[in-house]
Structure 1
Amino acid sequence: MNNKKYNNFICHIINQDFHKNKNLSFHTRFPPEPNGHLHIGHAKSICLNFELAYLYKGRCNLRFDDTNPSKENIKYVNSIKNDISWLGYKWHGNVRYSSEYFSILYQYAKELIYKGLAYVDHLTKEEIREYRGTLNTPGKNSPYRNRTIEENIQLFKKMKIGKYAEGEACLRAKIDMHSSFIVMRDPVLYRIISISHHQTQKNWCIYPTYDFAHCLSDSIEKITHSLCTLEFQDNKRLYNWILKNTNVSHHPKQYEFSRLNLEFSILSKRKLKILIDNNIIQGWDDPRIPTISGLRRKGYTPSSIKEFCQKIGITKQNNLIEYSLLEHCIRKELNQTAIRTMAILEPIKIFLYNLDQNHKEIFTVPNHPNNPNMGTHEVIFTNMIYIERSDFQEKYDKEYKRLRIGEEIRLRYAYIIKAEKIEKDEYNNIISIICYCDISTLGKRPKNKKNPAVIHWISTKNTLKAEFRLYNQLFNIKNPEQQKNFLSCINPLSLVKKNGFIEKTLEQKIQKYINNDRNQLFFQFERIGYFCLDYIDSKKSFLIFNRTVNLRDVWNRK
């Protein structure tokens, strides 16, 4: 392949397979468990599987490996389908479920029993764990391991028809309790779960384990290349054992690549659920976590996520990816597509005393300074305006280059003003700043002076109230996944809310985007950052904007 985008070791393997078999019907799949929302790590796998299927003119199935109803939910099924569609991918045929194959999998389990390769065990979960041994000590055989084939068949049938309570019996493979690979020490193949399944309802009370169902489902679907992350490398030994000892007609090939580890982030679904259950985050779509729904709500686009996955590449080396690279990908896109406008997050009032109270000017300003095709919008200028509180400083500081008493500043798209006086309330809080407006400076440099710094502003007669949610890293250390008590690393300033204003002239444009996540609306609030409309919490009467990313590109400067 000449295209660098697909120049990775998996492509080299596939190319060799096509060289050996020019009629190879390339077939892969994306097989999530429906026990949570997808995250950026899943996006890496989604892009790999679907892009390869497109590149090699093959097919990519979407299959839910739904073997544990105690942790699964139909809402997760729907969210996963929505995320994949939002990313722009289409799966081959209908959505598939491992539960569709439960009858077939049951027969394969019986086949192993008839071959003397599986047995019904009555050890408890804790006892099985104890008997399994450790990395340094071998396991020991269960006292139930040497039952006859006929006895195991009868016991397994009893499991199926509900004669045993949950945890009272399970079916285990008979492999080798002294294996150096713990996964091969008589792993559990079937267990009893007395919960209704989201697809099969109460038709079954025994469920195959993920490892048993996964490889056989791949075989049933004629998957040619089973792509997974490195933590399943040892599991491949068990998969191959199952496929070798059952009467399957197709043996998929498994290839492993490194999982995605992202700075300042947790990607474990179990740990993400702990964050939700402890009310540290507000749900699976909280913009502080890198779930696909969280990234979407924060303002990330499908193309920015795909570019990120392409940039990090596919390797066998585990590493911690810089969060700034993810931010670079969305910043690069929004720099081209986001509407430029002004917003005030912490307002302080400016009174331009030399302008009449009825003074009103309308300036037509570009929506993007480098793209005239994005059009223009109007801003209103009057004698009362708001600026950011941080753009005025009362105390003298020679390093401070914005507005202060006796100093000049230029208002973006408008005039140069000079601060002359401060009005305060009884508690010594600044109410307003009295300024002189030099009306001869519209679009002109000041005579015999250096051009002053530029700040943004909004007329008090052109304001629309809004809440601004400033999202920062959820964790205050780079690798919280490594921490035993990851909850102790929470950043208390991961979400800061500000109440301010946007330009009212944008109201009509914004309203049609409320409650419509399929068409996100982005702004670059000048000098502040890139923001998107929160399509879930925003109301027509009260707008909320989420900060997607700040303006400074740290990664690109390295």
Structure 2
Amino acid sequence: DSSDFRLVDDDNFFGLAPNKAVGIKYHGGNLVCDKVIENNGKVQKLECHLDVSESRPKPKSYLSWVPSNGLTCEVRVYNPLFTVASVSGDGWEEELNPESEIVYKKAIIDPSGSDIIDGTTVSKWKSNPSFQFERMGYFVVDYETTYHKDSNPTGQIVLNRIVSLKEEITKQKLSQAEIEKLDDRRNQQKAQAEAKERRMQIDPVNYFKEWDEFKGKYSKYDDKGIPTHLADGTELAKSAMKKLVKEQQKHVKQQAAWNKSKK
């Protein structure tokens, strides 16, 4: 897959790079990258040759591969549901992991999977066949699968990951671009956490005066801190004020849960 190739090689990367050779598992010979075809800065295709000469050097690593007649399927990879170890009560929606489910619609697996995958026998009420994808983890056949190699060879194959592998979790040394992307994500999470802590310390009465989302939008408030007029003096409709009451109540609940989690 794409993670097995880099345009710039280094000593800690064991995948394929321009003019570099790697072994091919279960096949023999060294795969050598001769040419990289790009489109708008993205790698689209690699042109390679297979060195099967007796004098070829022993490769430092071997790549997994699938043949051109591999089976197309939908693969669902599941990750932690939340971005934090301990969920903070009513604020749980902000801590959901947007990548808790990643779906690969056009994954390709080895054609030998046809001997295991049978859509006529899968069921949501029993354990379905499972197997390992090298370097990726263990997967189970989903009950939405309709494929059968004889009666329905064009049917759908759906596979769900149930166990990760250590190799997939603790990946090889990251490239500089990958490190920068990871740092950006960590910085975003840190900024979000700091903003949440600051928001949780705002008294509900002052919520619409002090929180960034509402600051400067209103000019007058009732005795409970609910805005009654916009910044330009326009009086708010009762329906708009009711929505703000609910927003304040939500803040109160989240604040209570946050305070409880800190004890």
Place the TM-score, normalised by the shorter chain, in its bin. Answer: 0.5 to 0.7
Does the CA-based 8 Å contact 1:513-1:519 persist in structure 2? no
Residue 548 of structure 1: aligned partner: 162
Residue identity opposite 2:59 in structure 1: N
Q: Does 1:506 align with 2:113?
A: yes
In 2, Cα distance between equivalents of 1:474 and 1:466:
24
CA deviation digits over 1:290-340, x for unaligned, max 9?
xxxxxxxxxxxxxxxxxxxxxxxxxxxxxxxxxxxxxxxxxxxxxxxxxxx
Q: Give matches, 1:217-228, under 5 Å.
A: none
Does the CA-based 8 Å contact 1:513-1:521 persist in structure 2? no
Q: Give matches, 1:9-24, under 5 Å.
A: none
Shift of 1:432: 1.9
Residue 456 of structure 1: aligned partner: 64
Residue 430 of structure 1: aligned partner: 43
Shift of 1:489: 1.5
Total equivalences in the alignment: 158
In 2, Cα distance between equivalents of 1:431 and 1:539:
31
> RMSD between aligned alpha carbons?
2.4
In 2, Cα distance between equivalents of 1:531 and 1:471:
11
Q: Give matches, 1:59-70, under 5 Å.
A: none
In 2, Cα distance between equivalents of 1:431 and 1:532:
31
Residue 145 of structure 2: aligned partner: 538
1:469 to 76, 84, 100: 76
Shift of 1:428: 4.2
Identical-pair percentage: 25
Shift of 1:508: 4.0
1:494 to 90, 97, 100: 100
In 2, Cα distance between equivalents of 1:423 and 1:503:
26
Q: Give matches, 1:386-401, under 5 Å.
A: 388-401=1-14
Q: Give matches, 1:156-195, under 5 Å.
A: none
Distance 1:405 1:505, change over 3 A: same
Distance 1:542 1:452, change over 3 A: same
CA deviation digits over 1:428-473, x for unaligned, max 9?
43332111212347xxxx76x443211111111x221111111011
Q: Give matches, 1:3-82, under 5 Å.
A: none
In 2, Cα distance between equivalents of 1:422 and 1:553:
27
Gapped regions of structure 1 (runs ≥ 5): 1-387
3-state SS of 1:470 partner:
strand
In 1, Cα distance between equivalents of 2:17 and 2:115:
36
Q: Give matches, 1:246-257, under 5 Å.
A: none
1:411 to 14, 18, 24: 24
Shift of 1:516: 5.9
Residue identity opposite 2:2 in structure 1: R
Distance 1:405 1:538, change over 3 A: same
Gapped regions of structure 2 (runs ≥ 5): 148-154, 169-263
CA deviation digits over 1:218-267, x for unaligned, max 9?
xxxxxxxxxxxxxxxxxxxxxxxxxxxxxxxxxxxxxxxxxxxxxxxxxx
Shift of 1:504: 2.3
3-state SS of 1:484 partner:
helix
Residue identity opposite 1:457 in structure 2: W
Does the CA-based 8 Å contact 1:515-1:538 persist in structure 2? no
CA deviation digits over 1:337-391, x for unaligned, max 9?
xxxxxxxxxxxxxxxxxxxxxxxxxxxxxxxxxxxxxxxxxxxxxxxxxxx1111
1:485 to 66, 91, 109: 91
In 1, Cα distance between equivalents of 2:42 and 2:71:
24
2:34 to 395, 413, 420: 420
Does the CA-based 8 Å contact 2:83-2:95 persist in structure 1? yes
Residue identity opposite 2:61 in structure 1: A
In 2, Cα distance between equivalents of 1:539 and 1:489:
35
Does the CA-based 8 Å contact 1:530-1:550 persist in structure 2? yes
In 1, Cα distance between equivalents of 2:8 and 2:101:
29
TM (norm. structure 2) is 0.54
Distance 1:422 1:517, change over 3 A: farther
1:524 to 111, 122, 132: 132
In 2, Cα distance between equivalents of 1:486 and 1:412:
44
Residue identity opposite 1:407 in structure 2: K
In 2, Cα distance between equivalents of 1:451 and 1:436:
15
Does the CA-based 8 Å contact 2:33-2:48 persist in structure 1? yes
